[in-house]
Structure 1
C-alpha cells in the first residue's frame, strides 16, 4: 500500500508537470500573438494542429501502452513535450509553431493513456474514482500554479515561459526513468500484445462503437469540442474585450482552478457515491452550458472570475467522471480504452478550436455561444444513455 501511494504520487507529479507547462504559456499568448502578428483563426488552427497530431497518434499510443508498457510510453511523452515547448519558444515563423504543436500532440497522446492505464493497474475498482479524481486534480493544480508562474516569468520575456516548461518536462522525464517501475509483468505485456496482434485501428474504432463504450466516448467528444472552443479564445477574449493583463488572466485562471481542485479532492468521490457517474455528468453539462452563455454577456473582472469558476468546476468534475466510467467498463482493456478516449478527445479538439478561432474573428462573443450550444447537445445525448445500459456497462 505504501509503495502504491508513492507510485501514485510520481504519476500525479508527471501529469501535474505536463499541465503546469501548458498553464505557464496561457497568460503570455495574447502578447505572443501580437508579436508574431497572428490572427484569431491562426491561433485556433495551432490548437487544432495539436489535436490532429494527438488524434493520429492516440490509437497507436493506446496499443503501445499495452504492448511496450506504461512506463516507456509515459517517459516518451514527457520527452516529446519538452522538445515541443522548446521549439515553440524558439520559433520565429508559423510553420515552426505548427511543428511544435504536432510534437505536443504526440506527447499528449502518450502521457494521458500511459498515466490513466498505470493508475487503473495499481488501484481497485473501489478506490479508482478517488484516484481518477486525484489525476484530474493534478491537471487542475498544474493550471493553478502554471498561469501564476507564467504571468510572473512573462514579465521578463514572452518566450521565457516556454523554456521553463521545457526544462521541467525534461526533469520529469529523467526522474520517471529512474523511479517508476513497470506495473505489468513481461508475461502480461506479451499476452496483451498477442491479443492486439488480432486487431488494428479500424477494429478498435469499430469496437468503440459498441453500446458499452459509445455514449461515453460521444460525450468525451462533445466535451472536448465545446471546451476547446471556449478555452482557445479565453485569454484572447479577456485581452480584447476587457484589456486584462497577463497577470489579470493568470489570476482568474488560478482562482478558478483552485475552486475546481477543492471539489475534486474533497467532494468528487462523495458526489459519485451520491449521484452516480451519469447524474454527475449531466449536472456538470448543465452548469457548463449556462456558464458558457453567461460568459458572452457579463462584464467586469469579478463577474468574469465568478463565471469562470463555475466553468472550471463543471469540466473539472466531468473529466474524471467520464474517465472513471470508462476505466470501470474497460476491464483488462485499459490501453485500448485510454487510447480511444484520447482519440475522441482529439476529434473534438480539432474542430472546436478551429471554429472558435474563426468565430472570434467574426465576433468575440460567438465562441462562447457556440460552446454553450455544443454542451447542450452533449446533455441531450445523455438522455438516450439508458440507466439499464449504463449499469450493465459497469457490471462487465
Structure 2
C-alpha cells in the first residue's frame, strides 16, 4: 500500500475520532445538570482524561516503537469507543469519571502512534504538509461533530454519546482491516531487543528539562493549558453569562472550527515560507492570549463568533508547526518524542481544566484572564529562547 493511501487512512481515523469528541460538546451543560455538577466538576472531568493520558503517553510511545504503530492505533480507538459507551450509560459521576480515565488511556495510545506513523511515511520536506493535513483532519472532525451532536440531542441528551461510541468502533475496524504497519518486522525486533531501557515518565520529564527541545515541549504544555481554559468551561460560560442555547453552542463551534481550519489550510504554508516556523509559534501565542481577553468584552453572538474563529485559527496554525519542529529533532525516536509531546499536552489537560473549573466557580471571567496570562508569559519565553 502506498504512503499516500496510508496517510489518507490516518486522516480518516483521526477525523472520526475527533468527530466523536465534537458530538458531545453542545450537550455538556445539560448533561452535567443531571448530576448537579458545575464548573469545578466539568474541569475535573477534563483533567481526569488528561491524567491517564499523561501517565500512559510515554509508555504508548515506546510500545509503538517496539510493537508497531497499527496495534496502538487499534487499541486507542477501541478504548475511545468504550469510554463513550460508559459515559452514555453512566448513572452517576463516578462512572462518568471512569469513562474519562479510559478515554485518556485511549488518547495516549492513539495520538503519538498516529504522529509517529506520519513521520515514518514522510520525508523532512513532506512532514510539515503532513502535520498540517493531520491538524486539518482533527479540526474538520471537530467542525462537523457539534452540529451533528446538536441534532442528535433532539433524540435524547445521551444520544451523542452512543453515536460517538459507534463512530469510534467504525474507526477501529477501518484501522484493523485497512491500515498497514509502517515499521518493518526488522525495525520492531531490533527495538524490542535493545537493552536500552527508558526511564519512568517522571524521570523522562526531568531529563527533558535539559533536552534541546524543552522550550518546544513547554510551549506544547502552555498551548494546551490555554486552550483547555477556553474549552473546558466555554459551554457553561456562554450559557450562564450570555444565555446561549445548545443550538447556539453547536453553531458557534461548527462555524468557528470550519473557518479556523480553512484559514489554517490557506495560510499555514504561506506563513511558514514568509516568516518561518519559529516566528509563527511566537506570534500565534501572543494573538491567542489577546483573543481570550477579547472574549470577555461582549456577548453579541457575531462578536463571539469572530473572536472564537480567530482563536481557533491561531491554535490550528500553531499546533502542527510545533509538531513539525519536534518531529524534525526526533531522529529515529519518533514514537518516544511523540509520546513526550503527548505527555506535555496531557499535563496541560490535567492542570488547565482543573484550575479553570475552580476559577469559574470563583468568577466566570477568571479562567479566560488566567489562560491569557499563561499564553502571554509563554510568548515572552518563546520570543527569547526559541530562536536560539
TM-score with structure 2 setting the length: 0.97
Q: Does the CA contact (< 8 Å) of 2:58 and 2:339 recur in 1?
A: yes
Change (3 A) 1:203 1:35: closer
Matches within 5 A, 1:153-192: 153-192=152-191
Identify the residue that residue 355 of structure 2 maps to in structure 1. Answer: 355
Cα displacement (A) at 1:296: 1.5
Matches within 5 A, 1:79-90: 79-90=78-89
Identify the residue that residue 122 of structure 2 maps to in structure 1. Answer: 123
Identify the residue that residue 329 of structure 2 maps to in structure 1. Answer: 329
Identify the residue that residue 368 of structure 2 maps to in structure 1. Answer: 368
Residue aligned with 1:191, SS: helix
Identify the residue that residue 98 of structure 1 maps to in structure 2. Answer: 97
The CA deviation string for residues 62-102 of structure 1, in whole angstroms up to 9 with x for no partner, is 11110110000000000000000000010011110110000
Identify the residue that residue 27 of structure 1 maps to in structure 2. Answer: 26
Cα displacement (A) at 1:264: 2.3
Cα displacement (A) at 1:203: 5.2
Q: Does 1:233 align with 2:233?
A: yes
Hey, what's the Cα distance between the residues in 2 that align with 1:125 and 1:12? Answer: 19
The CA deviation string for residues 83-135 of structure 1, in whole angstroms up to 9 with x for no partner, is 00000010011110110000000011011101000001001111110110011
Hey, what's the Cα distance between the residues in 1 that align with 2:34 and 2:101? Answer: 22
Residue aligned with 2:16, SS: helix
CA RMSD after TM alignment:
1.3
Cα displacement (A) at 1:384: 2.8
Residue aligned with 1:155, SS: helix
**Higher mean C-alpha displacement, 227-236 vs 204-213:** 204-213
Change (3 A) 1:373 1:297: same
Residue aligned with 1:184, SS: coil
Matches within 5 A, 1:289-300: 289-300=289-300
Identify the residue that residue 61 of structure 1 maps to in structure 2. Answer: 60
Residue aligned with 1:330, SS: coil
Hey, what's the Cα distance between the residues in 1 that align with 2:251 and 2:291? Answer: 19
Identify the residue that residue 258 of structure 1 maps to in structure 2. Answer: 258
Q: Does the CA contact (< 8 Å) of 1:204 and 1:336 recur in 2?
A: no
Identify the residue that residue 301 of structure 2 maps to in structure 1. Answer: 301
The CA deviation string for residues 329-383 of structure 1, in whole angstroms up to 9 with x for no partner, is 1011100110000100111111110110111111111111111001011101102
Cα displacement (A) at 1:281: 0.7
Cα displacement (A) at 1:259: 1.2
Moved runs in structure 1, 4+ residues, more than 4 A?
A: none
The CA deviation string for residues 175-209 of structure 1, in whole angstroms up to 9 with x for no partner, is 11011111111111122334474322255334422
Identify the residue that residue 40 of structure 1 maps to in structure 2. Answer: 39
Residue aligned with 1:336, SS: helix
Hey, what's the Cα distance between the residues in 1 that align with 2:192 and 2:376? Answer: 40
Cα displacement (A) at 1:386: 4.7
Q: Does the CA contact (< 8 Å) of 2:216 and 2:386 recur in 1?
A: no
Change (3 A) 1:386 1:117: closer
Hey, what's the Cα distance between the residues in 2 that align with 1:19 and 1:221? Answer: 20
Cα displacement (A) at 1:5: 1.4
Cα displacement (A) at 1:217: 0.3
Q: Does the CA contact (< 8 Å) of 2:70 and 2:179 recur in 1?
A: yes
Matches within 5 A, 1:172-251: 172-195=171-194, 197-201=196-200, 202=202, 204-251=204-251
Residue aligned with 1:36, SS: coil
Identify the residue that residue 3 of structure 2 maps to in structure 1. Answer: 4
Hey, what's the Cα distance between the residues in 1 that align with 2:205 and 2:184? Answer: 27
**Higher mean C-alpha displacement, 191-200 vs 373-382:** 191-200
Identify the residue that residue 394 of structure 1 maps to in structure 2. Answer: none
Residue aligned with 1:115, SS: helix
Hey, what's the Cα distance between the residues in 1 that align with 2:111 and 2:276? Answer: 24
Identify the residue that residue 106 of structure 2 maps to in structure 1. Answer: 107
Cα displacement (A) at 1:35: 1.8
Change (3 A) 1:207 1:235: same
Q: How many residues align?
A: 387
Identify the residue that residue 311 of structure 2 maps to in structure 1. Answer: 311
